[in-house]
Chain A
C-alpha cells in the first residue's frame, strides 16, 4: 500500500520544507530557552518582568539649605506623578517629626546610644514584609527594618576597624534595644526589634501606623509633606524625562535597571513575534506541502478507496508521510537552538553566574506543545481532505 502511494518528491523540495520549518522552530525555541537565562541575568536587582521600585526625592539646593523652598512633595505633585507613563503606583514616605534615640545595653558599662530617624511606607512597597510587621497603639514593641547594605557596611566597614565580630542577619534579628521617643514635652520608651532587612528601600523603616501615631502624639505638626516618594515603574524613558524636568533625583543604577529590563523585554518581545511569524509560516508551508502530497496522490488515493481501503487506514499511512517532517524539524531544531543558546550565554556568563548547559524544561515543553498543535491541525486537515476525496460526487 505504501508503494502504491509513493510519489517522487525532489530532494530540493524536501530540503526547503525541512529548512523552513527548522528555522521557524529555532526562532521560537531560542527565545523560549533564553528567557530563563535572561531572568537570571537581572535577578540580582529584580526579576525580569517584575516592575521596578524607584525612590524619588527633590534635589537639595543651596536655597533649601538656607530655608528657602521645600524639598517636600505637595499633594498635586504626588498626584501628577501617577500620570507619568510607565508609573504603576505611587507611595509616600512618612518620616519622624520628633526626637528618637536608640539605646542598646550590652551589660555593665557597654551601653551604645544613638540618635535615630525612622521612615514609614505602605506595606505594598516593601520587598517582603517580615513576620510581625505591624504596630498598633498600646504595643510596646516596635519592629524595625534596615537596609541589607547597612549590615554589610557594619560587617565589612565598621566592625573590622573596631576589631569587632561580624553579625549575621539572624543574630541581628535577635538583638533588642530601647527606643526613646520624645517631643512636645512628652516622652515614652519602646522596645525596638530588627524584624527584617530590605534590599529595595535604603532607609530605616518602621510600620507606617507607628509613625503616624507618633507624629500625631509627639510632633507639633502632625501632617508633614513627604520628602521622598516611592514609585512602581515599568518604563524608564518618560520617567527620566519627567524627573529631569521636575528636578527630581533617584538611584541612577536602579533607573538603568528599569531601562535594561525594558530593553530586554522589547528584544524578547520582538524575538517572540518573529519566532511566532516564522512558526506560522512553517506551519503554513507544512500544510501546503501536505496538500501538495495529497493532491499529487489524489487519483491513487481514490483508487485505494475503490478497492475498499478505509479512510482510517489511508489517514494513518498519509499521516506518517506528512507528519514526519515537523517531527524531524523539531528533532533538528532542539539541539540547534540549545547550541545557539549556549554560545549566546557564554558572552554574558560573567553577569549570570552558573547556568545549566541544558535549556530549561519549560522551553522544551513549549516547543513540544507547539509541535502538538501543529500535528493536531495537520491531522485534522488530512482527515478533511480524505473525506472530500472519498465522498460520492
Chain B
C-alpha cells in the first residue's frame, strides 16, 4: 500500500480570493513521497496549518482531494480517521493541544496508552534530550510555552506513524532547543522510514529538509 500523500487541486476559499495566486500547494497536484522531509514555508495566514489539518482530517476539504493510502480522505469514516491519527500520521499542533490540567507525564501516557509502541526507556531518553524530564510531574498549565512545545513533540513520537506533521514545531524554542528537537524528529523519521511535513514562517528554514514548498 502506497504511503504517499497526494494533494489534488485543493483550493481553500481564502486562497481563491487572493489576487496574485502563486503556491506550490494550493490548486496544484502534489505528490508527497514517503521518507522525505518537506518544509512548507509561508507567511502567516497563507494556510499552512489548514493544509496539515486537512491531511489530518480536522478540516473538511472544500474542493479537490487528499489521497492517503490510495483512498480519498473524503471517504474516511470516523473509525478511519481514528486509525489515521493513531497509526499512519502523527502531528504536533501549533497550539500544542495538551491537557492543561494534566501533568506532562499524564499527557504523554494518554497518547502512549493507544499504541504503547516506544519503550519507557526510549521515552525517558527523549525527554532527557529535550530537557523536559525535570518537570514531567508538573501540570502542563504551569509550564512555559517552550516546555509545552517540547512535550508536544515527544508526545507526537509516541505512536507508530508513516507521516509526521509538524505545525511550526519550534516557534517557541530557542535555537539550541529547536535544533535538538528537529534532530530528534529527523532521526525518528529516518528510523521509521516516515515522511515529514514541517510548516515554518521562515523562507529559508534552518532545519534539514528535502523539499521546500511555498504555500
Give the CA-CA distance A390 to B58 in the complex, in Å.
8
**Given A306-B93, A307-B114, A308-B85, also A390-B78 (CB < 8 A):** yes
**Given A300-B99, A303-B97, also A309-B82 (CB < 8 A):** yes
Within 8 A of A (CB), among B87-107: 87, 91, 93, 97, 99, 101-102, 106
**Given A307-B110, A392-B58, A392-B59, also A3-B82 (CB < 8 A):** no
**Given A3-B102, A300-B99, also A307-B85 (CB < 8 A):** yes
Within 8 A of A (CB), among B113-143: 113-114
Give the CA-CA distance A225 to B109 in the complex, in Å.
95
Write the nearest CB–CB distance from B34 to chain A, whole angstroms.
Answer: 20
**Using Cβ atoms and an 8 Å threshold, which residues of chain B touch A3?**
102, 106
Within 8 A of B (CB), among A278-312: 300, 303-312
A306 touches B82 (CB 8 A): no
**Given A4-B102, A306-B91, also A311-B82 (CB < 8 A):** yes
- In the complex, the chain A residue whose C-beta lies closest to that of B114 is A308
Give the CA-CA distance A248 to B91 in the complex, in Å.
91
- In the complex, the chain B residue whose C-beta lies closest to that of A310 is B82
Asked if B210 is an interface residue, CB under 8 A from chain A, the answer is: no
Q: Mark A371-393, 1 if CB is under 8 A from B, else 0.
A: 00000000000000001001111
**Using Cβ atoms and an 8 Å threshold, which residues of chain A touch B111?**
307-308
Give the CA-CA distance A36 to B56 in the complex, in Å.
60
Within 8 A of A (CB), among B58-95: 58-61, 78-79, 81-83, 85-87, 91, 93
A4 touches B99 (CB 8 A): yes
- In the complex, the chain A residue whose C-beta lies closest to that of B81 is A390
Asked if A1 is an interface residue, CB under 8 A from chain B, the answer is: yes
B102 touches A393 (CB 8 A): no
Asked if B159 is an interface residue, CB under 8 A from chain A, the answer is: yes
Asked if B195 is an interface residue, CB under 8 A from chain A, the answer is: no
Asked if B169 is an interface residue, CB under 8 A from chain A, the answer is: no
The number of chain B residues with a CB under 8 A from chain A is 27
The number of chain A residues with a CB under 8 A from chain B is 20
B60 touches A392 (CB 8 A): yes
Give the CA-CA distance A387 to B60 in the complex, in Å.
14
**Using Cβ atoms and an 8 Å threshold, which residues of chain A touch B106?**
3-4
Write the nearest CB–CB distance from A44 to chain B, whole angstroms.
Answer: 62
Give the CA-CA distance A1 to B111 in the complex, in Å.
9
Write the nearest CB–CB distance from A61 to chain B, whole angstroms.
Answer: 85
**Using Cβ atoms and an 8 Å threshold, which residues of chain B touch A300?**
99
**Given A4-B102, A311-B78, also A306-B114 (CB < 8 A):** no
**Using Cβ atoms and an 8 Å threshold, which residues of chain B touch A304?**
110
**Using Cβ atoms and an 8 Å threshold, which residues of chain B touch A387?**
78
Give the CA-CA distance A387 to B97 in the complex, in Å.
20
Of A6, A305, A387, A392, most buried by chain B (CB within 10 Å of CB) is A392
Within 8 A of A (CB), among B161-183: none
**Using Cβ atoms and an 8 Å threshold, which residues of chain B touch A307?**
85-86, 97, 110-111, 114
Contact of A310 among B60, B79, B99 (CB under 8 A): B79
Give the CA-CA distance A307 to B81 in the complex, in Å.
10
Show the binding face of B for A, using Cβ within 8 Å. Answer: 54, 56-61, 78-79, 81-83, 85-87, 91, 93, 97, 99, 101-102, 106, 110-111, 113-114, 159
Show the binding face of A for B, using Cβ within 8 Å. Answer: 1, 3-4, 6, 300, 303-312, 387, 390-393
> 21 A-B pairs, CB-CB below 8 angstroms?
A304-B110, A306-B58, A306-B91, A306-B93, A306-B97, A307-B85, A308-B82, A308-B86, A308-B87, A310-B78, A310-B82, A390-B78, A391-B78, A392-B58, A392-B59, A392-B60, A392-B61, A392-B81, A393-B58, A393-B59, A393-B60
